[in-house]
Structure 1
Amino acid sequence: MAVQNGAAAPEGGKARRIYLLLRDEILGGTHAPGQALPGELRLADAHGVSRVTIRRALDALVGDGLVERRAGSGTVVRRPSGTPVQLKADFATLMPQLQRYAEESTARLLSFAYVTAPPMVGEALNLRPGDRVQRAVRLRLANDKAFSHLTTFVPESIAQSYSEADLASTPLFRLLERRGLQVDHARQTVSAVLATPETADPLETTVGAALIALTRVVYDSDGAGIEYLSALYRPDRFQLEMTLNRVGESDDRHWEPVFGEATQRAAQ
C-alpha cells in the first residue's frame, strides 16, 4: 500500500482506480480549489461502483490533503498550501536543462552496489555477458519535494574512479568528466509508466500513478557505453515542453521543433 504525505491509497482495484482518476483530475485542474466534487451517489453511478467504494476513494483524497469534507457542501477541493514544485524543461534542450537541475537541486542516495549487468543494460552498453556495473538509485528533490527517481548503471571499470560518498554529493556526469571520459553521443527515449511500490513511496505518490519515464544511454567516440540512465518523473512536478513552428509551402506545410531559439534561451 503506497503512502503519500502520510496517507494510504485505498485497498482494492476499484477504489484505487477511482482514487487515481479523481486525484489526476484535481491535480490537472479539472476540479478547481473550493469547488465541490459530485456527490457520492453521482460518482458511484458515473463509475459503476458502490458508494462504499467511492467513500474509500474520497477518504484517501482527504488523507492526501487534496479535499476536505464540509457540512452542507460535501467534498470540496482544498487550496494547495505553499508553493507547488513544478519544473519545466524544453524538449529541444532537454540534456543541458537536466544537467542544470542536477546542479541546482538536491539528491538523496537510496542505494549503491556492484551487480551483474541486467541483460537489457548490458546490451545497451555493449558489455560482455557477466560484466558488472555499478548500480545507484537516487532521489532528486526541489524545495524538499521529490520530483525524480534516477537509476544509473555504469561499467565497473569506470565506476571504480568514484566512491559512494562522491555520488551522494556530486552529479554523476561531473564525476565521469573528472575521470577524463569524452562523451560523444547518447540515445534517449521518453515514454510513460505506472508507479510501482518501489518507486511510488520515494516519489511521494501512489502505486499505479502515471510517471514520465526517460531512458538515456551515453557512449564515447569508440561506441563504448558509459552510462545507462532510467529516470522517472512526477508529471505534476516536472513537465516537458517544446516550441513548434509551422513551416513549408502549400501541401508540404508541417510542424518543426524550434531548436535554435530554445538553445539561445538556455544559453542566456
Structure 2
Amino acid sequence: MVDYHSPMYLQLRETILEKIKSGVYLPGQAIPSEREMASFYGVNRMTVKHAVSTLVEEGLLYRIHGSGTFVKAVPGKIDVGAGGFGGLSIGIRAAGMIPQSKVLYLHRQPASPEIAALFSCDPQEMFYHLGRVRQADSHPFSVQYAVFPAAYFPGALEIDFSKASLYEFMGQMGRAPVAFKDSVQAVAACPKLAKLLELSPGQIVFQCDYLSYDKDNCLVEQNRSFFRPDKVTFKLHLHIE
C-alpha cells in the first residue's frame, strides 16, 4: 500500500512495485520510460529516476543500455515465456543471469521420412541438426534439439552456436521465427539427459515440442527441448471463444 505521507519517490516506488506484483508489468517486460512516467504521474524525471533506481538496487528491475528498464523474473527461475520458447536468452537475462550454450553437435544430413513429411519436402533435402545444453550463469537448465532446412540457412555449419543465437542467425537469413505451435508434458529424464541437466535418472523434466514458422508461415524449425522444472516457469495464455 502506498504511504502518501512518505517522500514522492518512495510513493512512486510503491506504485511501480504494486504493478509488478499485480502482473501489470510482467517479467522480462519493459516498464514505461522515465519521461512517460514523469508525465503520467505529474512528477519530475529525477523523482522517477530515484524510484526506479531503488527498485534496481533491490533486484526487482534491471537496465539494458539503449533499451530501457525491465522487470526481473522470480529469483532463480527463468521465465520461458518471456520471449517465447524461441527466446530463452530474454528469459535468462530477465532473471538477472547470463545466458550460455554448450554445443553437443551440429551436422547436416538428408531428411528422415518423418522430417520430410513434416516439412513437406523431398527426402533428399538436407537438414541441419543442432543439439545444445542451455545454461544460466554456467548452470544447465535446458537441453535443446533443433532441426532446420539447409536450403533456408546456408552457412550454418560455420556459425559458433555456443555464442551465437540460432534465431538471430535465422533472422539474418530473412527467416526469423515469429509464430510457434507447441506442446508441453512432464517426462522422466533418461540417464543421458539427466547427466546433461545434472539430475538423477528418472527425475521429472518438462518436455516441450514446438514448430517454428516465419513471417510467410513457412516451417523453419522443429524443436524438442527439455527443462529442469526447478529452474523455469511457464505461463499459459488461454482464450475463450
- Would the TM-score normalized by the shorter structure come out above 0.5? yes
CA deviation string 1:38-61 (max 9, x = no partner): xxxxxxxxxxxxxxxxxxxxxxxx
1:114 deviates by: 1.0
The answer to whether 1:171 aligns with 2:165 is yes
Contact 2:106 2:157 in 1 (8 A): no
Say which SS state the counterpart of residue 108 (structure 1) adopts: strand
Amino acid of the structure 2 residue aligned with 1:94: G
Q: Secondary structure at the match of 2:162?
A: helix
Check whether the contact 1:218–1:228 (CA below 8 A) recurs between aligned residues.
yes
Q: TM-score, normalised by structure 1?
A: 0.52
1:139-162 Cα distance to aligned partner (Å, 9 max, x none):
111122100001111111123233
- 2:183 touches 2:210 (CA, 8 Å); kept in 1? yes
Q: Does the CA-based 8 Å contact 2:209-2:223 persist in structure 1?
A: yes
- CA distance in 1 between counterparts of 2:152 and 2:223 reads 15
Partner SS for 2:156: coil
Q: Which moved more, 1:194-203 or 1:95-104?
A: 95-104
Match of 2:120 among 112, 123, 126: 126
Q: Does residue 184 of structure 2 align to residue 193 of structure 1? A: no
Tell me how far apart the structure 2 counterparts of residues 151 and 102 of structure 1 sit (CA, whole Å): 19
Q: Which residue of 2 aligns with 1:26?
A: none
Q: Which residue of structure 1 aligns with residue 90 of structure 2? A: 100
For residues 27-83 of structure 1, the C-alpha deviation after alignment (integer angstroms, 9 at most, x for no partner) is: xxxxxxxxxxxxxxxxxxxxxxxxxxxxxxxxxxxxxxxxxxxxxxxxxxxxxxxxx
For residue 77 of structure 2, what is the aligned residue in structure 1?
A: 86
| CA distance, structure 2, for counterparts of residue 89 and residue 198 of structure 1 | 23
| Alpha-carbon distance, 1:169 to partner | 1.4
Matches of 1:99 and 1:140, distance apart in 2: 9
* Structure of higher RCO (CA pairs closer than 8 Å, 6+ residues apart): 1
Report the equivalent of 1:217.
Answer: 211
Greater percentage in helix: 1
What are the ranges of 5 or more consecutive residues in structure 2 without an aligned counterpart? Answer: 1-74
- Per-residue deviation, 1:176: 0.5
Q: Deviations over 1:125-177 (max 9, x none)?
A: 23222322100100111122100001111111123233344322111000000
CA offsets, 1:198-225, max 9 Å, x none?
3121111122221111112112354432
Q: Which residue of 2 aligns with 1:71?
A: none
Partners of 1:100 and 1:257 in 2: CA distance: 25
Q: Distance in 2 between matches of 1:144 and 1:184?
A: 28
User: TM-score normalized by structure 2?
Assistant: 0.58
Q: 1:235 to 1:183 in 2, by over 3 A?
A: closer
2:135 is paired with a residue of what secondary structure? Answer: strand
- Which letter maps to 2:79? K
Structural mapping, 1:222-237, within 5 Å: 222-237=216-231
Cα-to-partner distance string for 1:236-258 (whole Å, 9 max, x where unaligned)? 11121448xxxxxxxxxxxx569
